[in-house]
Structure formats: C-alpha cells, structure tokens
Amino acid sequence: MIDKGNVKMETATLSSKYQILIPKAVREALELKAGQRFTFVVKDNLIQLLPKQNIEDVRGILRGADTSNIRDRQDRL
C-alpha cells in the first residue's frame, strides 16, 4: 500500500462481471469482514465506498451531547 501522509493508495481492476476485489492491505487496515455491506457515494468522478453501520454500532453516539440550544418549530418560523 502506498502511504502519502493521511492518504493510502491501492489499485484494483474492474472484472468483466463489474466486480472489484478490495486489496488485502485495505481489508486488513479497515478490519473489513466478509458479507459486510457498503454504500456507494458518487460525486463528479469520485466514488466513495462507505461501510454500512448497524444501528447497534451507532447507539449512544450522541450520549452526553448538549441539547440546551436545540431549535424547535417556533424558532424556524
């Protein structure tokens, strides 16, 4: 894997069945698992591949957040 600061680069080839194998170095670095699901985000000529998270993985992520300055409907009108 090529490491350029915070950017890591690997290459892969699109197969005749339009499949791409995620290189082993990337799978290991991101701890990807077989059967894991992903979301594709396309913007201009860029494709981002984002691992989908289970609701259990994000439960409690906002615990302790400051909710004292939350806007309600009256603030928006």
Kindly list the structural domains of the chain, giving each domain's residue range(s) and its CATH number in brackets, ordered by start. 1-54 (2.10.260)
- Give me the pLDDT at residue 4, please: 58
Per-residue pLDDT of the chain (77 residues), as tens digits, is 656 567 778 899 999 999 999 999 888 888 899 999 999 999 999 999 888 877 777 777 778 878 777 777 666 65
- Give me the pLDDT at residue 19, please: 94
Identify residue 63 by its one-letter amino acid code.
R
**pTM for this entry:** 0.57
- Give me the pLDDT at residue 75, please: 65
- Non-local (6+) Cβ contacts of 13 within 8 A are 20, 21
